[in-house]
Structure 1
Amino acid sequence: MVSYKVIGVMSGTSLDGIDLAYIHFEKKKKWTFSILHAETIPYAKVLENQLREAIHYDKNRLAEFDTTYTKYLAETIKLFINTHKITSIDAVCSHGHTALHQPENGITYQIGNQEVLAQLIQQKVVCDFRVQDVEFGGQGAPLVPIGDELLFSEYDYCLNLGGFANVSFHKEGKRIAYDICPVNIVLNKYAKQLGFEYDDRGNLAKSGEYLMALGTELNNLPYYKQKPPKSLGLEWVQKEIFPRLEAFKRKEIDILRTFTEHVAKQIARSFQIRSKILVTGGGAYNDYLIKRIQYHKEVSILKPSAELIEYKEALVFGFLGILKMRNEVNCLKSVTGATQDHSSGKIYNYH
């Protein structure tokens, strides 16, 4: 039996903060885990806005911001370790925050992955999991499916509802995964315009009116006809989604209803009938969205513990770090379209 205690660190596109999870992994015949501590440390408004704008920074400004963000991340990780009095850590496995994601141009850039992070927190760090995959011709995303394969194999599909919806499943002997469509990155923006942080349980969307013409336009976007491997980034949403929603000049509540329905349709299309689906990510709490997915396809959608709903990505990045330390495959070509399966990430030791 092997055993590891790691901290998984994740910051997603929905910008709600940094997710940290302290997890104990064990391997006998198969891998098992228990989450010992987990919390989300929200971003201050200023930093949240900078992260949203980083996509437009030039090279020098982005490099400077990367250094600032790495220091901030170090402080956050140290705070988490001290708060929970954590003493046994094999590694801190950190995703960083995606500033640029344009795999078709050979670019993916996660800030917060500088070597200095290991010195600042005085821990071994495993990070920067996406870059190598893009170098191998892959999308650099999604990376969670190896965790789905090895930790959650009892489900037909693993669905994550975060800034984007992504899905992973086993088909004809290999793992397939891709981004389905944007979710909270759009829903939160419109909920905020209505004076709420997010659409609690989908109650706002539920009270809106469906705009048929907008729904049709969204469902006809070329991305939805592409075959996987495929992935989405903030750039795509800013180019393809927001301008279309704004052009309609309709009430925010109706846009919210229409976009929620659009999301439900696109997600339902991804499943076989009567499948068993594990749902995680903040969108798992959107009861209205879940109900609409099940309206469009007869499936069982299973919600795990609140801890797993909220921290599955942090958990899996912790796991990716362990696989990297063991020099085992943590990146699947069947998922990303890379030329080979590989063990991705960088390991930084401190002294």
Structure 2
Amino acid sequence: MSASSLFIGLMSGTSLDGVDGVLAHIDAGDIRTLGAAYLPFSDGLRADLMALQQPGENEIHREALAANALALRYAQCVGDLLVSTGRTAADIRAIGAHGQTIRHRPELGYTRQTGNPALLAELAGIDVVADFRSRDIAGGGQGAPLVPAFHQAVFSDPGECRVVANIGGISNISVLDPKGPVTGFDTGPGNLLMDGWIARHLGNAYDAAGAWAASGQEIPALLQRLCEEPYLGLPPPKSTGRDLFHLEWLDARLAGLSAARPEDVQATLAAFTALTLARDIAHHAASAKRVFVCGGGACNTHLMQRLQQRLHECGQTATVQSTDALGVSPNHVEGLAFAWLAYRQVNRLPGNLASVTGAAGARVLGALYPA
């Protein structure tokens, strides 16, 4: 197996929990996971990255320090991958590092994924590809979601319309219909609001298996308010993030509902994620027979059940299951996607889909930082 076929993908998403790393063999249509690693963020790094989601004092300096700390964490993840798979830096063609999104404003012509890819290249001794979203935005696109192109390469089937639902901090769908172009967009919050709400009330980073949400009752009035968010009614292409959805956004919609039990709010937030996904799947992928879920949401048993229920309520008969059914762990999909995007960049192949992002056409994504 030549070094030109080995790539590492690193992803730290909107949930701000840590970094997922995947070592993959990628050669034309052959894409195989060889190893995976996960490193949680320290409380300090997570707090620093969370603070950068909003404007603040001396934020250029604070971002630079957080970017260095993130590069160190990325390098540790790369080291763990090499040790666990018996590889060396010389075996790896390139690392695809997404970075941590702290601003995403494609309507203003920019996106910002913090990180220090030059430092990562120095520490790892491996070429690094980073800043994947900017080229698509320069071409008039949303710069997100980028994973539908990878979903098409790995999960599509010529005889079946499928949906891949990535439920991270934000949820997005990829509609893989052999009868037409791939489409996809951010449907709205995934785990982001649920994670923030349980952290505020119980001090937990996330709602394990959705147990807390399952202990509550949905609040119809709150669910209606949440569903009135204008973003949800916009046509694709569209993308979103913490710039729009955050706890202050939720607090504004809780006004007048102060007697609501925290667990009932959590149940409603799970319902909100499930309902927004189900409505968009029913509208944009009516012929889909199966929905494959990846990201942290695939581990939320309550959310998966609610998604199935909401799909049926929307008249959609598709069954819901994780991407394990297709041979890829739901926790590895995004890391594998950025390994694939690094492969595309070093081979001067486009990584976006204009039908998804709205860009003027196919573009080679990412900037290369040689080791």
TM-score of the aligned structures, taking structure 2 as reference length: 0.87
Distance of 2:101 and 2:190 partners within structure 1: 17
What is the rounded CA distance, in whole Å, between the counterparts of 1:203 and 1:119 in structure 2?
43
Unaligned runs of 5+ in 1: none
Q: Equivalent residue for 1:341?
A: 362
Q: What are the within-5 Å matches in structure 2 for residues 1-351 of structure 1?
A: 4-27=5-28, 31-55=29-53, 56-57=55-56, 58-87=59-88, 88-154=91-157, 156-170=162-176, 173-192=180-199, 193-238=201-246, 241-247=249-255, 248-249=257-258, 250-271=260-281, 272=286, 275-297=289-311, 298-305=317-324, 308-350=329-371
In 2: Cα distance, 1:195 partner to 1:53 partner? 17
Structure 1 residues 238 and 274 mapped into 2: Cα distance closer, same or farther (>3 Å)? closer
Tell me the alpha carbon deviations over residues 37-80 of structure 1, each in whole angstroms, 9 at most, x when there is no partner.
Answer: 11210001000100101122433432343344334433442344
Q: Which deviates more, 185-194 or 269-278?
A: 269-278
Report the AA paired with residue 210 of structure 2.
G
Query: Against the structure 1 CA distance between its residues 148 and 348, is the aligned structure 2 distance closer, same or farther, given a 3 Å change threshold?
Result: same
- SS across alignment from 1:235: coil
- Percent identity between the two aligned chains: 32
| Residue pair 1:9, 1:21 contacting (<8 A) in 2 also | yes
Range with bigger deviation, 191-200 or 237-246: 237-246
Q: Displacement of 1:270 after TM fit?
A: 1.8
Partner Cα distance (1:15, 1:239) in 2 = 15
Amino acid at match of 1:333: A
In structure 2, what is the Cα distance between the partners aligned to 1:152 and 1:260? 26
Say if 2:162 and 2:288, in contact at 8 Å, map to a contact too. no
Q: Unpaired segments of 5 or more residues in structure 2?
A: 312-316
Q: CA deviation at 1:323?
A: 0.9
User: Match for 1:343: what amino acid?
Assistant: V
Deviations 1:304-341 (A, max 9, x none): 33962101000000001101111111111111111221
Change (3 A) 1:285 1:10: same
Deviations 1:117-172 (A, max 9, x none): 21221111111101111111211100101101111102611111111111011355
For the structure 1 residues 240 and 44, does the alpha-carbon distance in structure 2 shift closer, same or farther, using more than 3 Å as the test? closer
**Counterpart secondary structure, 1:115:** helix
1:194, 1:137 → 2: CA distance?
A: 42
Q: Distance in 1 between matches of 2:338 and 2:351?
A: 10
- Post-superposition Cα deviations, 1:201-248, rounded to whole Å, max 9, x if no partner, equal 222112212111111111121111100011111110138732335533
1:156-203 Cα distance to aligned partner (Å, 9 max, x none): 111111111110113553111101111211111222222433222222
Q: Distance in 2 between matches of 1:279 and 1:343?
A: 27
Q: Please tell me whether the aligned partners of residues 278 and 303 of structure 1 are also in contact (alpha carbons under 8 angstroms).
A: yes
The question of whether the paired residues in 2 share the 8 Å contact of 1:113 and 1:127 is answered with no
Whether contact under 8 Å (2:37, 2:80) holds in the other structure is: no
Matched residues in 2 for 1:204 and 1:68: separation? 33
Contact 2:196 2:247 in 1 (8 A): no
TM-superposed CA distance for 1:269, in Å, is 0.9
Q: Structure 1 203/79 Cα, relative in aligned 2: closer, same or farther at 3 Å?
A: closer
In 2, Cα distance between the equivalents of 1:20 and 1:339?
31
Q: Partners of 2:246 and 2:46 in 1: how far apart?
A: 17
Q: Following the alignment from structure 1 to structure 2, what is the Cα–Cα distance between the partners of residues 239 and 133? A: 29
- Going from structure 1 to structure 2, the CA distance change for 1:44 and 1:92 (only over 3 Å counts) comes to same
Output the CA distance in 2 between the equivalents of 1:167 and 1:51.
26
SS of the equivalent of 1:310 reads coil
Is the Cα contact below 8 Å between 2:193 and 2:247 reproduced in 1? no
Which residue type is aligned with residue 291 of structure 1? Q
Query: Contact conserved, 1:70 with 1:111, CA < 8 A, in 2?
Result: no
Following superposition, the deviation at residue 100 of structure 1 comes to 1.3
RMSD, aligned α-carbons:
2.2
TM superposition shift of 1:14: 0.6
Bigger mean CA deviation after superposition, 66-75 or 93-102:
66-75
Tell me if the contact between 1:113 and 1:128 (Cα under 8 Å) persists in the aligned partners: no
**Which stretch of the first structure deviates more once superposed, 207-216 or 44-53?**
207-216
1:278-313 per-residue CA deviation (whole Å, 9 max, x = no partner) reads 111111122222222222222211223396210100
Report if aligned partners of 1:73, 1:112 keep a CA contact under 8 Å in 2.
no
Q: How many residues in Structure 1 have an aligned counterpart in Structure 2?
A: 347
Aligned-partner SS, 2:342: helix
CA contact (8 A) 1:194 1:252 kept: no
